[in-house]
A and B are shown apart, each in its own frame.
Chain A
Amino acid sequence: MAKVLMKGNEAMALAAIYAGCEAFYGYPITPQNELPEYLSKHMALHGKAFVQSESEVAAINMVYGAAGAGARVMTSSSSPGIALKQEGITYIAGAELPAVIINVMRGGPGLGGIQPSQGDYKQITRGGGNGDYYLYSLAPESLQEAVDLIKESFDIADYFRNPVMIAVDGLIGQMMEPVDFDREVPKWDLLPKTWAADGNPQGREKNIINSLYLDPLVLEQHNLKLKAKYDEMRKNHQRYELINMKDADIVIVAYGSVARIARTAVEMLTEKGVKCGILKPITIFPYPDQAFAELPDSVRNLLVVEMSTGQMLDDVKIANEGKLPIHFYGRVGGVVPEAEEIVQAVLKIVGGENNG
């Protein structure tokens, strides 16, 4: 298949089919509705399961069940719906099951609005539900990157036996872009799912899917086992992109749609003689602190740009280790920052034109 023009939600849905997703459970919410709509047609055509459940809570618990049975499984929603799913997500992480969850973020808190936002950053990167767990969380900036990451995410979930969160905002869900579905993505070395509650056709010892450990010493061992996974993610599986870093005077730290807008801002700044780079986290958990160590010595300021009131700032502060001054520019409520606004925010810091 050569390049096709897709709407983001459709493209993410088709990427899951390419990744071998066997079952999808979901409940409608704007701005991700085209995703379950697409799968309601196409999962059946591929001989796979699609269920529109009676609620988000039902959907995530269906994911829990199907993942426990060893299926490749996905759900999607948008911010308030993802909030409802948190109980199920922590059970899935606690029971060490693989699943892919797509969050097409909209403005909050509460019902908020239906326009794009990155306001779920803390919820996504700190686990979201109760207990000591994290989600491997990927934040693409384009439809092609979203498709490539979703195709790989099912392997990542299987590898770690942990849920993977695809964190995009409504803009990625709703925009149109050319996509190539045949691009190669990394294949992970996966073991057979010998832990699955699959009906036990071979008559081996029973597999039990559970997150309940009443003996504190046993639960502690379980917690430490989970921690070892998250440490492994932090150590070896950070992902990021450093853009236009040569001799950069200032670096914009931005992920997802905002990184995309920042690229346009950098082009405009280059014309003004300002040397501006972009540090783009691709994983927001694990946070790519390794990228900050790679910044060139020329960098004198960091500007964090987000569609939130500054939820990523804490992670930047930790990764920066107090080395560089950190500035912030954000738009919230569903307002998408224009490239020109980012340019002005940079100029305010570097002191006008031709300062680079």
Chain B
Amino acid sequence: MKRITIICGHYGSGKSEISVNLALKYKINYLIDLDIINPYFRSRSLSVMLEENNIHLVESTIKNMTGSDLPYVSGEGVVPFVNPNITAIYDLGGTENGARVLVQFLDRMKDMNEVDLLCSVNIFRPETHDVKSILKTIAMYEAETQLRVTGLINNTNLINDTVEEDLIRGEEILLEVSKILNIPIKYTVIEESRMNFNHEFQGERIDLIRHVAKKFL
């Protein structure tokens, strides 16, 4: 895992859940919630739990205003780019518009080899249902962030209706994307209730525990 991981994708592609799970698993120093798109289900809603786990949460400049949809982003978001001792995960907002927020920090980054920009994909989202639409989505994110997407996350799911074949189909489609763009599938996401899936999936497996949306479902 690189020192900085940035996760992009359409809303509902699992960015926040994946960010929180990775941050907890790898004891990441900073979780930077750059989501100014969604009013609900943001990683900042977990501030207490994250701080308890020694993960520093960077969110709005107006802290603890989870009921606010003011598009403020804290300047603290730049810290991992200038301090090489800090590991970080950036959780972008949904759609290409959410990705644009990142650009303000990029010129402070000295070594882009320390940064992964991962695109989370669920083939059951109409915007990323096949190779062509995924390529188009990735091109949009690259245009907005001015960065190359360096890896893919297979988060194919229909929430509680997911079967193993769905993830395998998602992987087949993403392998094609992977070949065309010459980037790896870095992670495959499997929710905790489906731990019995035993197909050998591409990349590292994230056994995902729902934190952000759990209490509503």
A contact residues vs B (CB 8 Å cutoff): 3-7, 30-31, 34, 113-115, 170-171, 174-178, 334, 336, 338
- Please determine whether A178 and B159 come into contact, CB atoms closer than 8 angstroms: yes
Main secondary structure of the interface of B (DSSP, over half): loop
Known: A114-B69, A170-B40, A174-B39. A7 touches B11 (CB 8 A): yes
Minimum C-beta distance from B192 to chain A (A): 17
- Shortest B60–chain A CB gap in Å is 14
Check: B26 CB closer than 8 A to any chain A CB: no
Do the beta carbons of A5 and B122 come within 8 Å of each other? yes
Query: Which listed residue (B69, B122, B125, B216) contacts A336, Cβ 8 A?
Result: B216
Show the binding face of B for A, using Cβ within 8 Å. 11-12, 38-41, 67-69, 122, 124-126, 129, 157-159, 161, 213, 215-217
Are A5 and B67 in contact, CB atoms less than 8 angstroms apart?
no
Given A5-B125, A7-B12, A174-B38, A113 and B67 contact (CB-CB distance below 8 Å): yes
Residue in A3, A5, A334 with the greatest tally of chain B CB atoms within 10 Å: A5
**Of A5, A31, A114, A170, which is within 8 A of B157 by CB?**
A5
Please list the 9 inter-chain residue pairs (A to B) with the smallest Cβ-Cβ separation, ordered nearest first: A5-B124, A178-B158, A174-B40, A176-B12, A30-B69, A30-B39, A113-B67, A31-B39, A114-B39
Q: Using a Cβ cutoff of 8 Å, how many contacts connect chains A and B? A: 57
Residues of B within 8 A of A31 (CB): 39-40
Contact B40 A5 (CB under 8 A): no
Q: Is the CB of B11 within 8 A of A4?
A: no
Residues of the B chain whose Cβ atoms lie less than 8 Å from the Cβ of A170: 39-40
| Contact status A5-B12, CB under 8 Å | yes
| Contact status A5-B69, CB under 8 Å | no
For the complex formed, measure the closest distance between the CB of B148 and the CB atoms of chain A, giving whole angstroms: 26
The docked-state distance in angstroms from the alpha carbon of A115 to that of B161 is: 27
Q: Which residues of A contact B11 (CB under 8 A)?
A: 7, 34
Report yes or no: B67 in contact with A115, Cβ–Cβ below 8 A. yes
CA distance A3 to B126 in the complex (A): 10
Choice from A6, A115, A178, A338 contacting B40 with Cβ under 8 Å = A115
The interface residues of chain B lying within 8 Å CB-to-CB of A115 are: 39-40, 67
Closest-by-CB residue of A relative to B10 is: A7
The answer to whether A3 and B124 have CB atoms under 8 Å apart is yes
Can you show 13 pairs from A to B with CB atoms below 8 A apart? A4-B125, A5-B122, A6-B12, A6-B126, A7-B11, A31-B40, A115-B40, A170-B40, A171-B40, A174-B40, A175-B216, A334-B67, A336-B216
Given contacts A34-B11, A174-B38, A178-B159, contact A4 B216 (CB under 8 A): no
Report yes or no: A5 in contact with B159, Cβ–Cβ below 8 A: yes
Measured CB to CB, the nearest residue on chain A to B11 is A7
Q: Decide: A3 and B39 in contact? CB cutoff 8 A.
A: no
Find out whether the CB atom of A3 lies under 8 angstroms from the CB atom of B158.
Answer: yes
Contact A177 B159 (CB under 8 A): yes
* Bound: A174/B41 CA distance, A: 8
- Whether B67 contacts A178 by the Cβ 8 Å rule is no
Query: Across the interface, which residues of B come within 8 angstroms of A336, CB to CB?
Result: 215-216
